Amino acid sequence: MTAPARFTLDPAFAVGDVNPRLFGSFVEHLGRCVYTGIYEPDHPSADESGLRTDVLELIRELGVTTIRYPGGNFVSGYKWEDSVGPVDERPRRLDLAWRSTETNRFGLSEYIAFLKKVGPQAEPMMAINLGTRGVAEALELQEYANHPAGTALSDLRVAHGDKDPFGIRLWCLGNEMDGPWQTGHKTADEYGRLAAETARAMRQIDPELELVACGSSSQAMPTFAEWEAKVLAETYDLVDYISLHAYYQPHDGDIDSFLASAVDMESFIENVVATCDHIGARLKSKKKINLSFDEWNVWYTTEWHEIENSAARDWAEAPRLLENNYSVLDAVVFGSLLIALLRHADRVTVACLAQLVNVIAPILTEPGGPAWKQTTFFPFSQASRYGRGQVLDVRVDSPTYETKKFGSVPLLHATAVRDPETGAVTVFAVNRSQTEPLPLEVALNGLELTNVVEHMALADADPEAKNTVDEPERVTPHTVTGTALQDGTLTATLEPLSWNVIRLA
């Protein structure tokens, strides 16, 4: 039997409060995320707006908050004017990012209507094209979307049938502008200057906007850290967030390193925080820049590289792209990434799971057919439901294992969130061992907890088990017995390769 993993919880030692925006997601005009994903007017479940009500129901259950739109790489060629007004008058355009044809049948107004149907927790996060466009177009979009009435563009919105302004508070100043793959790719100096000019102009209309500057597309980028430093030197007093993007997959069959992906994510977060604070100190600013981790997920990128390196794609409408079907193994890594975000809730105050439907997503659909939950649906929905409140400082004493990529890594990855109103605590924990159960002991100091409400786990004898159209409920969380709370100590056993949610009251 593996030696126990241990940690102590005490309300006097907390990381910070969870911002609801940590449970955001992302809808891009990529593949079938929009068309036959959230929007399919001919589907049997479609409402009067063409939205799939079966998908809406799953999105509400998933518990997403902020939803970023319309990209992603797509936004760097996006003309917002194409996406408004009468649908039958909207132009068809080539989308260079994904070598597809964009019909613009689903646009800005439809996005806002979609958010309203998801629920009051669904907040818009609008990305601006700073690849092929600039300050003037950003201001025009802002006026169309947010100004009440009485100007050419706000009156145009009213004429298009949207009397009330959209009230978009959170804006991304471009997307992945450090990436050579990005249409309109820029150097850090070029982008920093453009982002500052755009932010300054947008704040002339509304000083209360929240703005996200583009950080690095990953920690592996050759310009990482230098990019953040140069961009923030231009924008520090004008923006509220800098973005981070990260995707993980196994390489060369190295499952041990894949299971430790959150080591990289936590390093990425901490390095960006250090860079932000260095620039703040250099500028003698008391302001803190927070982090918007607005793209994260497990993503098997092979197909993307095939698209990137091929001129053969025929500009199809809503082709099947990046439709990864996630396994139990993927869900455990995914849950560990969620734990990493929660562990840094003091500075990561926006995060967006990329993406929401079909495209590397927790929800899959078939055109004209069913919608179902992927394995990754469950960790996200559980974290969104039970991960609200104050994150407690968790410092694990755990057995370790060796990885090629990260060296010695703890078998246990964990965090805990306390509800300040009820005093209830939820422990989120991953056992990275592929073969051995992991005993867990948690000392509870200063917490008036008396019972285990439930211990749910996502695990399976087959780590490659997946939910499919033929077996949509092959993998679901199950109840774990034997978890106990006695004399101020929680004891549990975590199954091999498992995501665990332990609720205490």
Tell me how far the alpha carbon of residue 403 is from its chain's centroid: 26
Q: Rounded to 5 degrees, what are φ and ψ at 441? A: -130, 125
User: Which of 28, 81, 102, 295 is flagged as catalytic?
Assistant: 295
Tell me how far the alpha carbon of residue 362 is from its chain's centroid: 11
Question: Residue 141: CB partners within 8 Å, gap ≥ 6?
Answer: 80, 126, 128
User: Which of 81, 123, 176, 197 is flagged as catalytic?
Assistant: 176
What single-letter DSSP state applies at residue 446?
S
Query: Cα separation of 146 and 70, whole Å?
Result: 17
Question: Residue 159: CB partners within 8 Å, gap ≥ 6?
Answer: none
Tokens 């400082």: give the residue: 393
Known catalytic residue: 306? no
Question: Residue 403: CB partners within 8 Å, gap ≥ 6?
Answer: 254, 256, 257, 259, 260, 409
Query: Cα separation of 381 and 61, whole Å?
Result: 7
Query: Cα separation of 292 and 3, whole Å?
Result: 37
- With beta carbons less than 8 A apart as the criterion, state whether 133 and 186 touch: no
DSSP per residue, 44-101: TTB-TTSBBHHHHHHHHHHT---EEES-SGGGGG--GGGGSS-GGGPPPEEETTTTEE
Give the other-Cβ count within 10 Å of 114's Cβ.
23
- With beta carbons less than 8 A apart as the criterion, state whether 131 and 177 touch: yes
Q: How many Å is the Cα radius of gyration of the chain?
A: 23
Query: Cα separation of 396 and 184, whole Å?
Result: 44
Query: Cα separation of 337 and 340, whole Å?
Result: 5
Determine the number of helices (DSSP H) and then strands (DSSP E) in the chain. 11, 25
Known catalytic residue: 366? no
Kind plus residue range of the DSSP H or E element containing 280: helix 261-282
Query: Cα separation of 462 and 331, whole Å?
Result: 13
Query: Cα separation of 77 and 62, whole Å?
Result: 30
Read off the tokens for 49: 């707006």
Burial of 352 (0-12, 13-18, 19+ CB in 10 A): buried
How distant, in Å, are the alpha carbons of 3, 247, 426 from that of 482? Answer: 18, 35, 17
Query: Cα separation of 229 and 248, whole Å?
Result: 25
Catalytic residues: 176, 295
